[in-house]
Amino acid sequence: MTAGGSTCTPVLVGGQVFGSVLVLHSERPGAVERRLMGESVTQAAPVLANLRNLARAEERALTDAVTGLPNRRAVAEQLESLVARGRRTGEPVALIMADIDHFKRVNYTYGHDKGDDVLGSIAIVLRSTLRESDFVGRFGGEEFLLLLPDTDHLGALAAAAKLHNMIGKSHMPGLDEPVTCSFGVAAFPQHAPDSETLLRRRRPGPLPCQGERAQSRGVGGGDRAHAQLTARALGRRSTPRGNRTPATSVKGWRANRYTMGAGR
């Protein structure tokens, strides 16, 4: 304690220090003032500890234990918030579903611990590749949900192509084969008027043919799929289907009509 300065009082709960209270004053406090400060901190300590524990419990309830990413509940809450903001501001919101190909085979061949390592590695790639403003969460199992504010369908498609490329370049220690992902893309308000409908639309639809499925979804066989997606995203192919613009099935890299120029 210094004269005309400040007084720092530790916050103790169960004999453990979990914080401190700093009081600034212009004059050196007397014995009565110091006693009152100590009593106030002592009375407030249990309340502060409970608030901290509640905050930690809430954080754990919204965090996936394997990847450290937000879990399904947190993703749903964030999506609802972004769609509500987009409805007010008119800004689009894009959603990308990333699904690890043949993940059950990884668990069966290498064990669940190695499967958890793959989930963690994919989570790092997704988070490090996207913008700071984007949101990445584990939706469940081998699925990750990515939310891209102020991004339209075309921007999400370009982001999915970039993610596919980065995942393909990643090395998974202990695996004898590369890991690939398939993607489903949808956007608000282009494909859905609300968050619940947008979640339903994010799943990829049927593929044009089984041959394309085999080549695009086979482990290590995503190069052609990535080339198809990139070519269509750059507008080298334009195949509109009627007057509707359905949610893109990037699982199998099926796209309907894209021209680069909006979004990312």
- Condensed to tens digits (0 to 9), the pLDDT of residues 38-61 reads 888 888 888 877 777 777 777 777
- Looking at the structure, tell me whether residues 52 and 175 fall in a common domain: no
Domain boundary among 61, 86, 106: 61
> For residue 71, how far is the Cα from the chain centroid?
9
Q: What is the residue range of 26's domain?
A: 6-61
Distances 13 to 51, 103, 139, 157, 216 between C-alpha atoms, Å: 13, 46, 37, 52, 57
- Looking at the structure, tell me whether residues 104 and 155 fall in a common domain: yes
Q: Flag whether 259 is in a domain.
A: no
* Exposure string for 131-158, b = 16+ CB within 10 A, e = fewer: eeebbbbbbeebbbbbbbbbbbbbbbbb
- Looking at the structure, tell me whether residues 158 and 220 fall in a common domain: yes
Structure tokens at 213: 């499925």
Cα end-to-end distance, the chain, whole Å: 55
How many residues in total does the chain contain?
Answer: 264
- Looking at the structure, tell me whether residues 174 and 50 fall in a common domain: no
Question: What is the rounded CA–CA span in Å between residue 73 and residue 137?
Answer: 9
Q: Interhelix angle for 210-217 vs 223-233, to 10°?
A: 110
Question: What positions carry a catalytic annotation?
Answer: 142
Structure tokens at 224: 């052609």
pLDDT one-digit tens code per residue, 106-155: 999 999 999 999 999 999 999 999 999 999 999 989 999 999 999 999 99
pLDDT one-digit tens code per residue, 161-196: 999 999 988 888 888 888 889 999 999 999 889 988
Q: Quick one: what percent of the chain has pLDDT higher than 70?
A: 74
The CA-based angle 104-136-113, given to 5 degrees, is 35
Q: Flag whether 262 is in a domain.
A: no
Question: What is the rounded CA–CA span in Å between residue 73 and residue 69?
Answer: 11
**Residue whose tokens read 């370049």:** 169
- Looking at the structure, tell me whether residues 232 and 183 fall in a common domain: yes
- Looking at the structure, tell me whether residues 153 and 44 fall in a common domain: no
pTM above 0.95, yes or no: no
Question: What is the rounded CA–CA span in Å between residue 123 and residue 29?
Answer: 53
Q: Flag whether 261 is in a domain.
A: no
- Looking at the structure, tell me whether residues 49 and 88 fall in a common domain: no
Determine the 3-state secondary structure of 84 from DSSP. Answer: helix
